[in-house]
Structure 1
């Protein structure tokens, strides 16, 4: 079928290139995205005032699409505040102390626990939840602070955040842009995540173990102190029995959520709503027990902190999402029928056109998605650019005739591993700060394992398309 490309198609493609260029230069893409929406509106409607209205309506459209994600992150962050204030976070982690006898076990136990908790709380709150407990335990077992930071960072900001199986914020963004369901992206990401996770974490451990054996961290480990816990003063003094019971209650409730999601086949927004409702109940129950008469004021304060965190993280996503949503059906909602009658959307049209003039194959597509994901992650957000990888994946898969979910998952993994993040200094600050290491040093340690992992994952993706 012959595809009719209009000036809107070429302008859309041009702005994608400009946005990628800005990301490479580590420049903010908000203004470029807003200009892109305006120019597309001006071309489509030939009206300045409609184009101006389109900017605002585009932001509203993107915000409505992202609001469940922003709220779930805000709610979980608010819940994490009361857990830290009451010491329940320590009760959740303390059973793992008995398993950490040497630095080998320390690396893997810290990493796996970080990954599991990050699926529920996201990595930044998870770092705060478990870092204070595991850092002294890890150092006592012979794992240097940089090793603890690497374990938390690779398993948390790497594996957990790039998959986001519980909260489903990342797959929601990419699946929307790719025009497929959240479940498809998540299923396609499983084999790729196994390859990326195993290759990266094993490579990092081998390199770290070599340095430990060569005595690189000898002085640090000899002077390891266990005074980190004393720095974390609690606002509420629960008894150990109460903390353990409340920690168990949390685990039971979230385990029940997982069972319900599986049995009722809840995904995307429904799964997010279940987790969010549970988190609010936990916040209310623990808050009431901890703060008593002051619970109303304290809960409000924690909710405000959570919302501030959520909008700070996702504020950069909204303008760029508004632009990329125009590549699909959102353009009808925002500007009306401004494309040719036979158009299937800007991205689909470009994909069909590309397929007719460029030889597209699985190898080229996989390498391109990894590269685009990596570039979008250069801003240190990880999330601001993943709508782009969904759109690009859709474009290439249209030419291939298959592989949308695999290419989308690959771009998502690449973008978030790098920008979400393990290779951008300002993205690793939570783990680096918690462990008292230089963020630039942490990114240098992560560089080789992550690059090797991305190469292996890209090769694997070629065979799954």
Structure 2
């Protein structure tokens, strides 16, 4: 292997990487350090001030192009969820599952699994409102304490569902792009055993803790539980959407499995399906006024999508300078992947092994996830995985999947108080109490998942 020669630009890029990680560790947004990193590295590479300025814009265009497909699909799914909520179809979809919750034990698992599937198809943010409004009051009446309900919703939704994201494929797409894969399929496949390990350890540990609290009568109950049944105007359109929506998405999943549809094609199928249901449902429900209503749904959906991804585009643009091909799109011909070069240099200077790189990737995902954004760590952990994948013979996809799980479980909202607020609010518990209750399930899950990752790499 040819020796890697590091330049001042490599060290400048590394400096800004460390600054970004430090800022995130302090729970602050890292956008300004990322922009300064783009500007200074671009200035140094191109040799003039104008080059530094244009590098910032070029990075945003490159990152935006990489993420645009995922922004669109998430926006369309959120738009559809608005229609389902307004028509009452969401209530009809979840009502059968609510009837299964007859005691605290069953309620924990039914509530969690409902949150898992709803989050896979509609993302955790809309799913939290949906599950919280329809199923949480039923679980509380069945004897599950509010804190137990919050733990179940967190671990299954913001943990398992968001860290895997198998249906919408937002998280694996970002990770895969940064790790150098053309589509998310390798990361998705590699994540399955890790996600199963993490999910089983975390949810079973959470269940044991909730059961212990119930026996010790320490879980606490809400002083007043008021279930406000919304005055839903249910009609034949509500029932039609309640049946057609899950059936349509189930058929999409079946097509993906039988035809091997992956990546952008799979995303296009889901996005097209959501758009058709949204358009037809709007017209059937509101008639001629549906022409205006669908505009409101789409606008709200895209406002949500852009709100989520706006900071990720800037962060991704900075870390994409660490990847060879993307670096050339940002800086121009002759650019090299700074992180890749640093990884090769590190492998030549320090003896690396699977366990060491797994710990580094896990720690990176955890630290960067402290900012409370589930997707912010993904460009970095993907780049780190690609870096080590170039340096030593390991499975890059497995390493990237490990970093993705670490970043999303922390940043997506399970163990830091400022990220669990949505679930805490809808269940009426203290965010600090919820974060503390999730700590050991998530920690034990990380330990077990890291061991499995090392064995598979």
What is the TM-score with the length of structure 2 in the denominator? 0.96
What is the SS of the residue equivalent to 1:173?
helix
Q: Which residue of 2 aligns with 1:173?
A: 174
Residue pair 2:191, 2:402 contacting (<8 A) in 1 also = yes
Alignment of 1:370-385 (within 5 A): 370-385=362-377
- Would you say 1:206 and 2:170 are equivalent positions? no
Superposed displacement of residue 429, structure 1: 2.0
Q: Which residue of 2 aligns with 1:264?
A: 259
Q: How far, CA to CA, are the matches of 1:364 and 1:127 in structure 2? A: 37
- Would you say 1:334 and 2:330 are equivalent positions? yes
Q: How far, CA to CA, are the matches of 1:51 and 1:459 in structure 2? A: 43
Q: Which residue of 1 aligns with 2:116?
A: 115
Superposed displacement of residue 391, structure 1: 0.8
What is the SS of the residue equivalent to 1:59?
helix
Q: Which residue of 1 aligns with 2:238?
A: 243
- Would you say 1:69 and 2:70 are equivalent positions? yes
Q: How far, CA to CA, are the matches of 2:327 and 2:9 in structure 1? A: 11
Q: How far, CA to CA, are the matches of 1:443 and 1:188 in structure 2? A: 28
Superposed displacement of residue 242, structure 1: 4.6
Q: Which residue of 1 aligns with 2:227?
A: 228
Cα deviations by residue, 1:63-86 (Å, 9 ceiling, x for unpaired): 121111111111111111111111
Superposed displacement of residue 335, structure 1: 2.1
Q: How far, CA to CA, are the matches of 1:264 and 1:20 in structure 2? A: 41
Tell me the C-alpha RMSD between the 2 structures.
Answer: 1.5
Superposed displacement of residue 130, structure 1: 2.0
Q: How far, CA to CA, are the matches of 1:20 and 1:374 in structure 2? A: 10
Residue pair 2:148, 2:219 contacting (<8 A) in 1 also = no
What is the SS of the residue equivalent to 2:28?
coil
Q: How far, CA to CA, are the matches of 2:10 and 2:79 in structure 1? A: 43
Q: How far, CA to CA, are the matches of 1:116 and 1:35 in structure 2? A: 40
Residue pair 1:41, 1:50 contacting (<8 A) in 2 also = yes
Q: How far, CA to CA, are the matches of 1:407 and 1:13 in structure 2? A: 21
Residue pair 1:102, 1:141 contacting (<8 A) in 2 also = yes
What is the SS of the residue equivalent to 1:422?
coil
Cα deviations by residue, 1:206-254 (Å, 9 ceiling, x for unpaired): 011111111224654xx664x4242x344xx223x65333211111110
Q: Which residue of 1 aligns with 2:9?
A: 8
Q: How far, CA to CA, are the matches of 2:358 and 2:218 in structure 1? A: 38
Equivalent residue for 1:443, pick from 410, 435, 449: 435
Q: How far, CA to CA, are the matches of 1:262 and 1:15 in structure 2? A: 42
Cα deviations by residue, 1:339-371 (Å, 9 ceiling, x for unpaired): 4xxx5x322222221111111111111111111
Q: Which moved more, 1:14-23 or 1:158-167?
A: 14-23
Q: Which moved more, 1:347-356 or 1:138-147?
A: 347-356
Q: How far, CA to CA, are the matches of 1:424 and 1:249 in structure 2? A: 37
- Would you say 1:424 and 2:420 are equivalent positions? no
What is the SS of the residue equivalent to 1:284?
helix
Superposed displacement of residue 399, structure 1: 2.1
Q: Which residue of 2 aligns with 1:392?
A: 384
Q: How far, CA to CA, are the matches of 2:96 and 2:136 in structure 1? A: 15
Q: Which residue of 2 aligns with 1:183?
A: 185
Q: How far, CA to CA, are the matches of 1:429 and 1:299 in structure 2? A: 30
Alignment of 1:20-39 (within 5 A): 20-39=21-40
Aligned length: 454
- Would you say 1:365 and 2:339 are equivalent positions? no
Residue pair 2:354, 2:394 contacting (<8 A) in 1 also = no
Superposed displacement of residue 97, structure 1: 2.7
Q: How far, CA to CA, are the matches of 1:433 and 1:169 in structure 2? A: 26
Q: Which residue of 2 aligns with 1:281?
A: 276
What is the TM-score with the length of structure 1 in the denominator? 0.94
Q: How far, CA to CA, are the matches of 2:429 and 2:265 in structure 1? A: 39
Q: Please, which runs of 5 or more residues in structure 2 have no aligned partner?
A: none
Q: How far, CA to CA, are the matches of 1:427 and 1:72 in structure 2? A: 23
What is the SS of the residue equivalent to 1:2?
coil
Q: How far, CA to CA, are the matches of 1:420 and 1:449 in structure 2? A: 15
Q: Which moved more, 1:153-162 or 1:95-104?
A: 95-104
Q: How far, CA to CA, are the matches of 1:242 and 1:424 in structure 2? A: 41
Q: How far, CA to CA, are the matches of 1:136 and 1:54 in structure 2? A: 52
Q: How far, CA to CA, are the matches of 1:174 and 1:440 in structure 2? A: 30
Residue pair 2:210, 2:219 contacting (<8 A) in 1 also = no
Q: How far, CA to CA, are the matches of 2:383 and 2:228 in structure 1? A: 46
